[in-house]
Amino acid sequence: MGTMEETRKSTKRTVTSAIDGMSVSEVRKCLDQMRKQWREKDETAPFYMCETFHDNITMDKFAFQFVMGHHFKRHNKQMLKSEKTDVSPNHAVSH
């Protein structure tokens, strides 16, 4: 039997978008664009979260959707993991 690290490496992970309707690539591009604008901000070019930057979505709306989508993905992953560990032959449900 392998170590946890070997098991983790051998398990294929599926990458899904944190935002419905956006591909993983689009989400990454938006995050990169936000980081770039944040680095370039100064007194003459402030950083505005209400600025539209991708498919008529504002940065603040994107950020909120990203955080909530990421949270729900992690929450659902944890729920699935706990369901798998809760199932045992001694706790079988009879119909």
* DSSP label at residue 89: G
Residue 24: HSE in the Cβ half-sphere, 13 Å Cα cutoff? 4
Q: 53 lies in a domain? A: yes
Instruction: Give phi and psi for 51, each to the nearest 5.
Output: -75, 135
Q: 49 lies in a domain? A: yes
Q: 48 lies in a domain? A: yes
Residue 42: HSE in the Cβ half-sphere, 13 Å Cα cutoff? 2
* Bridge partners, 76 (sequence order): none
Q: 37 lies in a domain? A: yes
Domain that holds residue 40: 22-82
* DSSP label at residue 48: -
Count of domains for the chain:
1
Q: 69 lies in a domain? A: yes
Q: 57 lies in a domain? A: yes
Among 3, 52, 51, 54, residue whose Cα is nearest residue 25: 54
Tens digit of each residue's pLDDT, the chain (95 residues): 556 666 566 667 788 898 989 999 999 999 999 999 999 999 998 999 999 988 889 999 999 999 999 988 877 777 777 777 765 555 555 44
Q: Report residue 91 as tokens.
A: 């706790």
